[in-house]
Amino acid sequence: MQEQNHSFMELRTELIRKLRDRGCTTITITGYRYLCNSIFTWLSDNGFDCYNEKAGALFLQYYQSVHGENQYYLALRTVVQRLNDLLKGTWSDVHSDKGKHFCLPDAFAEIVDRYCNWNESTGHAFGTVRNKRYAISWFLDELSKQDCKSLDVLSPVCIAHACLKVTNHSLWGEIRLFLTYLTEFEGVTSDYSTIVPHYSKPYVIPSVYSVEEIKRIEEAVDTSTVLGKRDYAMILLASRMGMRSGDIANLTIEDVLNRTDLDIIQTKTGNALHLPLISEVRLAIDDYLSVRPESQTDIVFINAYAPYNPITTSTIRAALRKYIGLAGIDSGNRKRGPHALRASLASSMVNNDISYETVRKVLGHSSNNAIKHYARIDIENLRKYSLTPPPPSDRFSDFLHGEVE
């Protein structure tokens, strides 16, 4: 079969159009565009005047030999897979960060589509449905390898073996929900969800900074410059209002100009968020808008240099890391992105006896389960209920004192 070749510009334009049609965010599309440029620049410098699958494979081979399989390599590999999809006139919904591809029997493929459509209809976000598709495709692929290629021949043994083959144990919960769905909507008479092992993901205490540390970070910003005014406003939106970096990057001038309240649709969840635009934040935004360079975009925060395109979330992360360093704060093992400021706000609120429900609403969570997350960082209130352990006695005491081998 003749290998398909496409010009760089033609293929990139088609990829961006495809991503827009699928509802991808501006940040995602910007990331794809940037990665495409990296790939096409290398190919052009190495004598390629168009793209094909062989060229994409050579680029990945070169990058891996120089830099290894780092996070940037994984992102580049995903883009190459998408470019190859366009060459073949297909679009696979399952491109994982491990490069897995699944060939399902027609009966299973139809069930996957029905299950994902049902999840979409019940309000799940695109990213959530994509993860569900990946989990159950892997599970059904392992089932089909055992010659279990339809729901009629499902058995506890096949299900147990398939689950053990799904080595990403965090996906077991998705498989359990899928098996419950099969019982309720696909005519499977037995509820096999109880067979799936339970897996509890190790909980990591969120990275938080004290009120004093956040004050030092804010004071480290030089607000006499355009760049400083922009960064100061972005940091306040994260530290004082707990906004996610994606929502900060997507704020429009209409959202904030002459407003005392903020009403947006959250990028991550698609849910509405209503917050009072507190005075300090509003003044910081107005201060930046008064010196903001002219741009064709209506996005509030733009790059500091021409052509003044909208910022990305990486701009916010880089700015915060910069000011943490300038403030002389030892972050240790703590994260240094805007989500740490969001977690710090939640921690500060619950430690000041603000109800978990209020915290949930301020941070824009729709699920009541999020309250449990905040309870875990309510260290001061948890400390009130700590128990004093009894003194060791008998054989245990002997063991602690080295008297038992």
Judge if 114 and 69 occupy the same domain.
no
Q: Are residues 368 and 286 in the same domain?
A: yes
- Give the separation between CA 276 and CA 404, rounded to whole angstroms: 63
Are 289 and 157 contained in the same domain?
A: no
Question: Among positive and negative, which fits the CA dihedral 320, 97, 11, 247?
Answer: negative
**pTM strictly above 0.85:** no
Which ranges in 124-225 belong to alpha helices (H)? 126-144, 156-165, 172-185, 211-219
Average pLDDT over residues 375-381: 61
303 occurs within a structural domain: yes
Task: Specify the residue for token string 């389960």.
Answer: 369
- SS3 of residue 6 by DSSP: strand
The answer to whether residue 405 sits within a structural domain is no
More confident residue, 375 or 385: 385
- Per-residue pLDDT averaged across 169-179, rounded? 94
pLDDT at 77 over 60: yes
Question: pLDDT band at residue 396, thresholds of 50, 70 and 90?
Answer: confident
Average pLDDT over residues 218-222: 96
Query: What's the confidence (pLDDT) of residue 398?
Result: 76
Q: Read off the pLDDT of residues 176-218 as tens digits, 9 standing for 90 and up.
A: 999 999 999 999 999 999 999 988 777 667 788 999 999 999 9
- Mark whether 61 and 34 lie in a shared domain: yes
- Supply 355's token pair: 């109800």
- Mean pLDDT on 316-325: 94
pLDDT at 49 over 80: yes
pLDDT of residue 1: 40
Band of the pLDDT at 348, cuts 50, 70, 90? confident
- Better-predicted residue by pLDDT, 273 or 200: 273
CA gap 99, 335 in Å, rounded = 28
Over residues 12-28, the mean pLDDT reads: 84
Least confident window among 116-120, 148-152, 285-289, 378-382: 378-382
Together in a domain, 279 and 368: yes
For residue 220, tell me if it sits in a domain.
yes
pLDDT at 255: 92
* Identity of the residue numbered 299: I
d(CA 140, CA 150): 9
**In the chain, how many domains are there?**
3
Q: Which of 29-38, 189-198, 373-382 is predicted least confidently?
A: 373-382
Whether the bond into 202 is cis, omega within 30 of 0 = no
Q: Could you tell me the CA-to-CA distances from 251 to 99, 104, 261, 265, 267 in Å, in that order?
A: 34, 42, 13, 10, 10
For residue 125, give Cα distances in angstroms to 160, 267, 271.
29, 10, 10
The answer to whether position 72 is within a domain reads: yes
Bridge partners, residue 265, by sequence: 272
For residue 347 the two structure tokens come to 């921690």
Segment 284-293 shows an average pLDDT of 96
pLDDT of residue 108: 92
Chain centre to alpha carbon of residue 59: 27
Residue 97, in any domain of the structure? no
pLDDT, residue 374, reads: 60
pLDDT band at residue 219 under the 50/70/90 scheme = very high
- Range of weakest confidence among 49-53, 89-93, 145-149: 89-93
Lowest model confidence (mean pLDDT) among 50-64, 98-112, 132-146, 270-284: 98-112
Range of the domain at 251: 211-382
> Once rounded to an integer, what is the mean pLDDT over residues 9-20?
89
Instruction: Look at the block and give the residue holding tokens 């808008």.
Output: 289
Can you give the length of the chain in residues?
A: 405
* pLDDT on residue 98: 46
Of 195, 228, 243, which residue constitutes the final position of a domain? 195
**Do 271 and 216 share a structural domain?**
yes
Among the ranges 67-71, 88-92, 326-330, 358-362, which has the highest mean pLDDT value? 326-330
Which DSSP category does 312 fall into? -
Structure-derived torsion over alpha carbons of residues 351, 353, 356, 357, reported in degrees to the nearest 10:
-150
User: Is residue 404 assigned to a domain?
Assistant: no
Checking if the pLDDT of 57 tops 50, the result is yes
Q: Are residues 12 and 47 in the same domain?
A: yes
Q: Averaged over 17-21, what is the pLDDT? A: 85
370 shares its domain with 221: yes
How high is the pLDDT of residue 376?
A: 60
Q: How large is the greatest C-alpha to C-alpha distance in the chain, in angstroms?
A: 81
Question: Quick one: 111 and 251 in the same domain?
Answer: no
The residue among 57, 88, 119 that closes a domain is 88
- Alpha carbon distance, N-terminus to C-terminus of the chain: 72
Q: Is the pLDDT of residue 362 over 60?
A: yes
How far is 325 from 39, CA to CA, in rounded Å?
33
CATH number of the domain where residue 130 is located: 1.10.150
Write b or e for each residue in 138-160: b if 16 or more Cβ atoms lie within 10 A of its Cβ, otherwise e: bbbbbbbeeebbeeeebeeebbe
Q: pLDDT at position 97, please?
A: 42
Please say if the pLDDT value at position 282 is more than 70: yes
Residues 323 and 296 occupy one common structural domain: yes
Same domain, 110 and 73: no
Query: Does the residue 16 lie in any domain?
Result: yes
Over residues 299-319, the mean pLDDT reads 91
pLDDT at 4: 57
Across 5-16, average pLDDT: 85
pLDDT at 223: 95
Residue 200 lies in a domain: no
The band of 373, judged by pLDDT with boundaries at 50, 70 and 90, is: low
Give the CA radius of gyration of the chain.
26
Contact 165, 135 (CB under 8 A): no
pLDDT at residue 262 is higher than 70? yes
Domain harbouring 246, CATH code: 1.10.443.10
258 and 369 in a single domain? The answer is yes
CA separation for the pair 116, 126 (Å, rounded): 10
Q: Which residue has the tokens 């410098």?
A: 45
Residue 148 has pLDDT above 50, yes or no: yes
- Which DSSP letter does residue 51 get? B
CA torsion through residues 373, 376, 380, 384, sign = positive
Q: Which residues contact 12 (CB under 8 A, 6 or more apart)?
A: 33, 36, 37, 40
The answer to whether 238 and 245 have CB atoms below 8 angstroms apart is yes
Percent of the chain predicted with pLDDT > 90 = 46
